[in-house]
A and B are shown apart, each in its own frame.
Chain A
């Protein structure tokens, strides 16, 4: 296991590329979803408020 992690002495370099990759992939998903949420948040105030309707199932 320790041998696997050390990557023949290049462990720091290999594992930091793995870490950076995870960060960028996660960033993309989070940023994309936030983009949609913000679009919806900006639009909502323009919608007529329908306070009479209750959300019953």
Chain B
């Protein structure tokens, strides 16, 4: 029983707002630091690839964005499912706030992939399973955003877009395993084979720093967005009035 009380308190919008205000810098600055360290490690310290030379360094920017495009979708789908099943408003706010973040990193993954594909494969785009399923992910995000915009009532938008988010999650394992299941120009899994990653340590650690940095960055940006989202959703409640009279750092900066 105690844990349920705790979850309810944590998921209550005013509590979330104050917690987010406190936590955002604690995620944002380590994220910036890790991304800078990862970028330096990837661009300068990592040895050149024996096949792809210096050009391989684009992976330090392509892989984390592709990873985040999928992580954000999973977060969005899980949050939408929680919102649909237990009718927790904060969960719907998390799902709604994730979509545009996820869409932006999907675009980044696609475009950096195209830019890297040209020198490595000789083509910006090929209609293989990995690229196509990642493009489908972008359409899922855009569909989700468009569907939400079609409703005036937030609760209806939550329910309809929530179903879309949950159904669309089947695309995530398809993206991940596409390079295993189908023939492709795209390289296979490299670091998720944890027992025997096919990458040397000097090359691996900057990538892991980037991935961790991106994850923290997502948490920070999501927390900022959800803060705005709960303000709109709870506009009639007293705690929002109090915050408007004395806005903290999220609102001012």
Chain A residues at the B interface, C-beta cutoff of 8 Å: 4, 7-10, 13-14, 16-18, 20-21, 24-25, 27-29, 31-33, 35-40, 42-44, 46-47
CA of A35 to CA of B233, assembled, Å: 13
CA of A2 to CA of B74, assembled, Å: 42
Knowing A21-B65, A24-B105 are in contact, say whether A40-B244 is a contact too (CB < 8 A). yes
Binds A, one of B79-87, B146-154, B195-203, B219-227: B219-227
B111 at the interface (CB under 8 A from A): yes
Closest 4 CB pairs of A and B: A10-B55, A8-B54, A36-B228, A7-B54
* B218 CB to nearest A CB, Å: 9
Chain B residues at the A interface, C-beta cutoff of 8 Å: 28, 35, 39, 43-44, 48, 53-55, 57-58, 61-62, 65, 100-101, 104-105, 107-108, 111-112, 115-116, 118-119, 217, 221, 224-225, 227-229, 231-232, 235, 240-241, 244-245, 247, 250-251, 253
- Inter-chain contact B101/A28, CB cutoff 8 Å: yes
List 30 A–B pairs whose Cβ atoms lie within 8 Å, in order of A's numbering. Answer: A8-B54, A9-B53, A9-B54, A10-B54, A10-B55, A10-B119, A13-B58, A13-B116, A14-B54, A14-B57, A16-B115, A17-B62, A17-B112, A17-B116, A20-B61, A20-B108, A20-B112, A20-B115, A21-B112, A25-B35, A29-B28, A32-B224, A33-B250, A36-B228, A37-B251, A38-B228, A39-B229, A40-B244, A40-B251, A47-B245
* B249 CB to nearest A CB, Å: 10
Knowing A10-B53, A24-B104 are in contact, say whether A35-B224 is a contact too (CB < 8 A). yes
Residues in B neighbouring A33, C-beta threshold 8 A: 224, 250, 253
Residue of B58, B116, B247 ringed by the most chain A CB atoms within 10 A: B58
- Inter-chain contact A43/B235, CB cutoff 8 Å: yes
CA of A38 to CA of B44, assembled, Å: 41
- Inter-chain contact A35/B228, CB cutoff 8 Å: yes
CA of A27 to CA of B111, assembled, Å: 15
* A31 CB to nearest B CB, Å: 7
- Inter-chain contact A24/B227, CB cutoff 8 Å: no
